[in-house]
Amino acid sequence: MQAAVIEGAASAGAKLVVMDNLYMHGPINGRRITEDLPHAATTRKGSVRAQMTKDLVAAHEAGKVRVAVGRTSDYFGPRGLLSAMGERVFYPALAGKKAQVIGNPDQPHTYSYLPDIARGLAVLGERTEADGNARHLPNVPTITTRQFIEHVYAAAGTEPGILTMPRWMVSIVGLFNGDVREMKEMLYEFEEPFVVDATRFDTAFGNPATPLDEAIDTTVAWFRANPKRAK
């Protein structure tokens, strides 16, 4: 798919702005995540992401297409159903039930607000100095997953509760659920500090990140206006 997009952008003479994740770094052992960390992925998905990055850089350096890359952590926000901080957190919060999380909720974890991601990508598209580079997009302040969920429940007006899914449970559930099975190799992101540094973007372009409580209030309002439908 990426190869086709590169060809399409090149043939149209368009600049290619790519939203990427952080899988290519692999386990970071609690280090602050900067753009300079090596691509040392040990997972299947991480290895694919590392190769995709190489292909983008090669296309840019060959003069085939102008490329700018914005990397983001786990997202949340309106329409953000399938993320770690998506429907398994916001719908239970509105219903006064327990949120479902994987890993250790007491580790600091950076989360990215979808409208901030969109604004950041637009900036990368407009600024020529972003060409040929990867930058971490602005994020809301990093707190623990538990603290994040407490903010969600406060906005929803309910008492917070968390149902954690440790690694052994992910392994068992993954035997029957393909989505959960695919999460297993990425669990390290939720078992250790996962703090994303966006200083490079902030220094060059400013920080358009939305305040945390405003972002959560807007997201809760969207989930409330779009109740979960029975499957």
Domain of 29: which CATH number?
A: 3.40.50.720
**37: three-class secondary structure by DSSP:** coil
Q: Is residue 9 part of a domain?
A: no
- Residue 123, both tokens: 């900036």
* pLDDT at res. 162: 97
The bridge status of strand 108-109 relative to strand 143-144 is antiparallel
Provide the residue range defining the domain that includes 208: 14-225
In angstroms, the CA 32 to CA 144 distance is 14
- The size of the chain, in residues, is 231
Cβ atoms of 41 and 16 closer than 8 Å? no
Q: Is residue 82 part of a domain?
A: yes
* pLDDT at res. 36: 95
Q: Is residue 4 part of a domain?
A: no
* pLDDT at res. 171: 82
pTM metric for this prediction:
0.93
Q: Is residue 6 part of a domain?
A: no
Tally of domains in the chain? 1
H or E segment and range at residue 69: strand 67-71
Q: Is residue 230 part of a domain?
A: no
Q: pLDDT per position in the chain (231 positions), as tens?
A: 999 999 999 999 999 999 999 999 999 998 999 999 999 998 999 999 999 999 999 999 999 999 999 999 999 999 999 999 999 999 999 999 999 999 999 999 999 999 999 999 999 999 999 999 999 999 999 999 999 999 999 999 999 999 998 888 888 877 887 777 888 899 999 999 999 999 999 999 998 899 999 999 999 999 999 998 754
Q: Is residue 3 part of a domain?
A: no
* pLDDT at res. 230: 53
In angstroms, the CA 154 to CA 143 distance is 15
In angstroms, the CA 116 to CA 207 distance is 9
The CA-to-CA distance between both ends of the chain, in Å, stands at: 29
